[in-house]
Amino acid sequence: MSQKSSVLFLAGFSLFLILYLAAQQSQIPAQVRPPPGFNLTDPESMHWLSCPEPGQGRKSTFVTADIYGRLGNVVWSYLSVVAAARRYNLRPVIDQQSLDTLEKEAFDANFLRVPSVDWLERTCALGGELENAIKFKSKLLTSKERMIRYLEEWPDAGFAVLKYDFSATDSELTTAFWDELQNELVLKEKYRRKAANQLQILQKRFQDQTGTDVADVEFVGIHVRRTDYTEHLPHILPGSRAAGPEFFHAAINWLKEKMRKKTLIFVAVSDDRQWTQENVIGDRPDVFMAGSSDVEEPGEDLAILAACQHSIFAYGTFGLTAAFLASRPGGHTVLFDPRNGGVTKEMEFGANLPLPGWHIMDQHGNLTYQNTPISFHLYLHPHKDRKWGT
C-alpha cells in the first residue's frame, strides 16, 4: 500500500471510529451517558471513552474513589482521580451518583470528562466485570508508596482497579495539575451570573458607605466554616481550636497592607451568618455578607467566592474548592494554622511551592511554614504524628 493510500485509509478509519462511537453514545439512555464535555477527536477523551479490554496491562487499569460527603468532598475525590489518571496514564471512572452531585449542585456538565461506571458497563457490554472489579478486587490506595507498587502489577487478565478510600484529597497530584484541573470544574452560567450581579451590588454599597467612587476594585472572598467544624476539628487534631475572629481580622489586615495600592472589598460567605456578622463583619465598612448559605444548593455561594481575586478561609473542602476556583496569577490565599503541632489538609496546599500566593497564618496573624514544606498525603483527615517533608 502506498503512503498516500495509507494516509487515506487511516483518515477514513478514524472518521468511521468517531461516527461509530457517536452512534453508540446516541443509543445510550441520557441518564447513563457521559457528560457532553467529551470531545471524540481528543486523544485523551478517546482513551477514556473507548471500551476497555481485560488483560491489557495499563490499558485495563482504572483509578476511582469511594466518595462520601457533601460537595467539597466529592470535588476533591473527583479531582484526585483525574490527576492520578493524568499522571500515571490510567483510566478514570467515577460512580454516577457523584457525577450527578457535581452537576446538580454547582458545575456545568459540559466540562466533566470522567465517565461513570454505569456508562462504561452499558456502552461496552462489560457484563458487570468492571463493576465487580471495583466492588471486590480494588486495591486501596493508602499511601503513595503503595500506589507506585500497584502500578508495577499490570493485569494480564481482567481489570485492575486502584481506589482512593473515603475523603480522598491527593494534594501532591492535584497541585501538579492545578491549572489544568481548573478546566475540569466550571460553574454553571446561572451561578456565575448571580455572583457577578451580587458583587456589583456590593461594590455599589461600598461606594455609598465610604463615599468613594473607585471603579478598579478587587474582591476578597472569605469563607467562614463553623457549625459542625467547631466540634469536628478537635477530633481530627486534638488540642486544636476553631479559627476565631482574630484570624479573620488578621488575614484581612494583612491583605489590606499587602495590597495597599489596591481597593479591596471583602465578601463573607458562611454557614453561620449570625456569628460571621457579629465577629468578622462588625462595623467594618469594607466587609459584607453575601450568598445564601443554602447547603442544598451551594453553587451560588461557591460562585461568589470563585469570582473573587483573593481568598481567606480556615479549613474545609468547600473553602478549599472556592480558593482553588478563585486561584489565579497575582492572587493571594490566606489559610489557617491551628498551631497545635498538627497539620490540616489545607496546609499541605499552602506550604508547598507549586502554589505561589498561598500563605498560612495563625490566630495572631503570624505567617507560618514559609520555608518548611509539608509532606503530601492522600486523604483529608490529618494526624498529629505526621512526618515533615524535606
Q: Delimit the domains of the chain by residue range.
A: 19-181, 189-368
| Distance between CA atoms of residues 110 and 127, nearest Å | 28
Q: pLDDT tier at 24 (50, 70, 90 boundaries)?
A: very low
Cα 40 from chain centroid? 25
CATH 3.40.50 fits 189-368, yes or no: yes
Q: What pLDDT digit, counting tens, does each position of 137-195 carry?
A: 999 998 888 899 999 888 889 999 999 988 888 999 999 999 889 988 999 999 999 99
**DSSP 8-state secondary structure symbol assigned to residue 168:** B
Which of 303, 337, 341, 335 lies closest to 320, judged by CA?
335
Q: What pLDDT digit, counting tens, does each position of 79-124 carry?
A: 999 999 999 999 999 999 999 999 999 999 988 889 999 999 998 9
Which amino acid belongs to residue 257?
Answer: E
Mean pLDDT of the chain: 84
| Distance between CA atoms of residues 280 and 277, nearest Å | 6
Sheet containing 263-270, strands listed edge to edge, beginning at the edge strand earlier in sequence:
287-289, 263-270, 217-224, 310-313, 333-336, 358-361, 367-368
Instruction: Give the CA angle between residues 351, 356, 362 to the nearest 5°.
Output: 40
Q: Give the least confident one: 46-60, 241-255, 302-316, 374-388.
A: 374-388
| Distance between CA atoms of residues 134 and 121, nearest Å | 12
